[in-house]
Amino acid sequence: MDAEKRLRELRALLQDHAHRYYVLDDPLISDGEYDLLFQELLGLEEQHPELITADSPSQRPGGAPLEKFAQVVHRVPMLSLENAFNAADLQGFEDRLLRFLNQENATADQAVPLSYMAEPKIDGLAVELVYEQGRLLQGSTRGDGSRGEDITAQLRTIPSIPRTLQTTAAARLEIRGEVFMDRQALIALNQERLENGEPLFANPRNAAAGSLRQLDPAITARRSLKFLAYGIADPAQSPCSSQQELLVWLEGLGLPVNGLARFCPTMGDVTSRFEQLAAERQAMAYDIDGMVVKVNNFALQHRLGNKARAPRWAIACKFPALQATTRLLSVDFQVGRTGAVTPVALLEPVEVGGVTVSRATLHNRDEFERKDLRVGDTVLIQRAGDVIPEVVKAMVEGRDGSERPLTMPTHCPVCGHALVKEAGEAVTRCVNPHCPAQRLRALIHFCSRAGLDIEGLGRKSMEQLFDLRLVRDIPDIFTLRQEQLAGLPGWGAKSADNVMAAIEAVRHPPLGKFLAAIGIRFVGEITASLLEQRFPTLDDLMQAPMEALLEIDGIGDQAAGSIVDYFSDSEVRAMFERLHQAGVAPESGRLDPREDQPLSGLVFLFTGTLMSLSRTEAKKLVKERGGQIATTVTQKMTHLVAGEKAGSKLKKARELDKIVVTEAEFLQMLRPRP
């Protein structure tokens, strides 16, 4: 194929994919595959500069702004960044800088000192915030780099974006930064959309973009978005001479910046930092897809200038893609500890972010039907952290008619019991309490880190003990003998001793941890902690009526009903009797309210703006000290903490004769009682 024809194909492909990514928030290919196409385009244009056209994707960043929003012209264009993928690319970036600065053969006394700032590249949406006289005037997306969408009302709903800067700066400031959604917020949002039958967001970047492009700002406000500032349109608007100084200055204005940004004196330090971030990325609360490297000195940035679509003084070094395409070979239906039957895709093995993936979750029947997935499809998959990957979508354009629709089984694939899908639920369940799959999964959970964390009793060990009928339910764990284990295949005296010691160590577990481990439906770690704070012993909880459970802030009808039903079951009570006989006695982890829980029995509501704490941090402090959180002014609430610009809640609290305290008085209350 000749270069001119291939360039036409690449431009059409990239423009279509960019439109789907930037404008529709509905990508068809992974970031890694897009980057490969773009690198091919750049390579061909470098070989044939006479074929470069003004409308080439290499000449402009982003995508066209949406017509449903008013347009904003950026005074200084918001450019894209060129990409690097490894240490050699980073060194090539520095070599180009040295050539441009005529430093290739400079002596030590002639050399221009090159240093860098390395900043995590958050997978979000780039925005510009315009402040006039310290007040937020306008906010917009990057758009095509020259024009973006006016999303001021939506950006004002993000708590981390200050309406007013803390100190006086230039008359007009144009702040650049990233709006993003962390992983937990995305999981919660997708769960809500799943229950409502809405399409799921493929990744945090799409979720952030989709949330900001809501015409109703109230929808944006519910999406748990965050913002981090990384730059300024014109460095001359600041008193800073470097990117390192600028980040400190921005933070002083009250703008959040990324604490993981690092000053790197040499390119070797940059490479080391890239490797460090690549190793740590999965442990972060939010997605990063690479690291941005910037020449630190602003005078050198100005001297280096910009290319057509990217600054010459910065580059984005991308991590291996965490999305990829592969074939859906078949589907396996797994039964979980609560009876939920989950379809799992068996895939043609493919590498995703350095890990070979051959399985991915399909969530439930509604989800795979909504996505119209079929055996034989080419599918887009993604991996986040260490959880099982998920299938994002089918590439329907590649179908040839041989694909087969997926169907949910009518009976449990393990025990054969009829499956049930209750009205209003997305999950199909096996309701047979004696189903072997449920019992095994419950045992694995009990011993896992999310349970009592019994070292040595991992999934494979528990499957072995279950198959040998040495452990069939939770009490059996505590009646195991060393000689039973030592004689098993793959075991020995030492491993048996270690497991017996680990079991002995959890005979008196904290009550909250025990409750989270035994697998009551709708009772996870947070709900278990709330129960532990309210009920000092397991016996107290087992006898608690529905009304007492509903009095606990954070426990609703569904969880309360599940708890009452669980402890009313005769088999459950027999299980606890066996645990008692085996010497298992959960202990309350509740602190003495006289000493360590100064807020015990108090219910707090916050209103207005807090100056020294975030709202989330304040609520956490209340819970840690024995208090509860209210969501609105009610008779149950005891204290209203009124920050600056408190509104209607303050008026209503006074009408109900509730105690109103300032932020300073609240902080004083956190101290232990004498």
Task: Give the C-alpha separation, 361 to 351, whole Å.
Answer: 16
Burial bucket for residue 216 (CB in 10 Å: 0-12, 13-18, 19+): exposed
Q: Which of 11-20, 441-450, 466-475, 642-651 has the highest mean pLDDT?
A: 466-475
Q: What is the mean pLDDT of residues 392-398?
A: 88
Question: Computed over its alpha carbons, how large is the radius of gyration of the chain?
Answer: 29
Q: What is the mean pLDDT of residues 259-275?
A: 96
pLDDT computed for residue 538 by the predictor: 92
pLDDT band at 242 (very low <50, low <70, confident <90, very high): very high
pLDDT band at 169 (very low <50, low <70, confident <90, very high): low
pLDDT computed for residue 594 by the predictor: 43
Task: Give the C-alpha separation, 232 to 246, whole Å.
Answer: 8
pLDDT computed for residue 23 by the predictor: 44
**Pairing verdict, β 639-642 and 603-607:** parallel
Task: Give the C-alpha separation, 474 to 575, whole Å.
Answer: 8
The C-alpha angle with vertex 301 and arms to 296 and 306, in degrees rounded to 5, equals: 135
- Percent of the chain past pLDDT 90, that is, above it, reads 43
Residue 56, C-beta contacts closer than 8 angstroms, at least 6 positions apart:
7, 11, 41, 45
Q: For this structure, is 421 an active site residue?
A: no
Q: Which residues pair with 119 in a beta bridge?
A: 292
CA-nearest of 172, 178, 162, 167 to 131 is 172
Indicate whether 327 pLDDT > 90. Answer: yes
Indicate whether 199 pLDDT > 50. Answer: yes
Rounded to the nearest integer, the mean pLDDT of the chain is: 85
Residue 343, C-beta contacts closer than 8 angstroms, at least 6 positions apart:
331, 332, 333, 334, 361, 362, 363, 364, 365, 368, 406, 408
- For the chain, which domains are there? 3-59 (1.10.287.610), 83-318 (3.30.470.30), 323-410 (2.40.50.140), 436-504 (1.10.150.20), 511-581 (1.10.150.20), 603-669 (3.40.50.10190)
| 626 neighbors 536 (Cβ within 8 angstroms) | no
Query: Which of 121, 226, 623, 649 is labelled catalytic?
Result: 121
Amino acid of residue 218:
A
Q: What is the mean pLDDT of residues 436-452?
A: 90
Element (H, E) at 352: strand 340-352
Q: What is the largest CA-CA distance in the chain?
A: 85
pLDDT computed for residue 601 by the predictor: 79
Distances (CA, A) of 668 to 5, 599, 658, 665: 73, 11, 18, 5
Task: Give the C-alpha separation, 281 to 279, whole Å.
Answer: 6
pLDDT computed for residue 386 by the predictor: 42
Q: Which of 23-32, 74-83, 520-529 has the highest mean pLDDT?
A: 74-83
Q: What is the mean pLDDT of residues 314-343?
A: 89
Q: What is the pTM of this model?
A: 0.49
CA-nearest of 210, 207, 198, 202 to 366 is 198
Task: Give the C-alpha separation, 353 to 279, whole Å.
Answer: 11
Task: Give the C-alpha separation, 350 to 381, whole Å.
Answer: 10
Task: Give the C-alpha separation, 281 to 302, whole Å.
Answer: 32
pLDDT computed for residue 592 by the predictor: 47
Task: Give the C-alpha separation, 584 to 466, whole Å.
Answer: 21
241 or 667, which is more confident: 241
Indicate whether 388 pLDDT > 70. Answer: no
Q: Could you give the angle at which helices 204-212 and 183-195 cross, rounded to 10 degrees?
A: 70
Q: Which of 22-26, 575-579, 588-592 has the highest mean pLDDT?
A: 575-579
Location of structure tokens 């459950």 = 572
CA-nearest of 97, 497, 465 to 294 is 97
Q: Tens digit of pLDDT for each residue in 69-122?
A: 788 999 999 998 999 989 999 999 999 999 998 887 766 676 778 999 999 999
pLDDT computed for residue 566 by the predictor: 92
Indicate whether 593 pLDDT > 60. Answer: no
For the beta carbon of residue 618, count every other beta carbon within 10 angstroms. Answer: 20
Indicate whether 21 pLDDT > 60. Answer: no
Q: Tens digit of pLDDT for each residue in 355-384?
A: 788 988 888 888 888 889 999 999 998 875
Q: What is the mean pLDDT of residues 135-144?
A: 90
Q: Tens digit of pLDDT for each residue in 408-419?
A: 999 999 999 999
How many residues does this entry show for the chain?
674
| Strand order, beta sheet including 628-629 | 628-629, 603-607, 639-642, 659-661
Indicate whether 620 pLDDT > 80. Answer: no
Task: Give the C-alpha separation, 264 to 295, whole Å.
Answer: 10
Q: 343-353: string of b/e by CB count within 10 Å (b at 16+)?
A: bbbebeebebb
Q: Which of 151-165, 172-186, 257-271 has the highest mean pLDDT?
A: 257-271
Indicate whether 66 pLDDT > 70. Answer: no
pLDDT band at 354 (very low <50, low <70, confident <90, very high): low
Which phi and psi (to 5°) does residue 194 adopt?
Answer: -60, -45
Task: Give the C-alpha separation, 310 to 306, whole Å.
Answer: 6
Q: Which token pair is 64?
A: 């066209």
| 19 neighbors 64 (Cβ within 8 angstroms) | yes
pLDDT computed for residue 399 by the predictor: 92
634 or 508, which is more confident: 508
Element (H, E) at 100: helix 87-100
| 82 neighbors 313 (Cβ within 8 angstroms) | no
Q: Tens digit of pLDDT for each residue in 493-519?
A: 999 999 999 999 999 999 988 998 998
pLDDT band at 17 (very low <50, low <70, confident <90, very high): confident
Task: Give the C-alpha separation, 597 to 388, whole Å.
Answer: 39
CA-nearest of 122, 121, 100, 125 to 317 is 121
| 291 neighbors 277 (Cβ within 8 angstroms) | yes
Task: Give the C-alpha separation, 358 to 350, whole Å.
Answer: 7
Burial bucket for residue 107 (CB in 10 Å: 0-12, 13-18, 19+): exposed
pLDDT band at 648 (very low <50, low <70, confident <90, very high): confident
Which phi and psi (to 5°) does residue 643 adopt?
Answer: -90, -165
Q: Which token pair is 310?
A: 């990217």
3-state SS record for 236-260:
HHCCCCEHHHHHHHHHHCCCCECCC
| 184 neighbors 285 (Cβ within 8 angstroms) | yes
Indicate whether 349 pLDDT > 50. Answer: yes
Which phi and psi (to 5°) does residue 327 adopt?
Answer: -100, 140
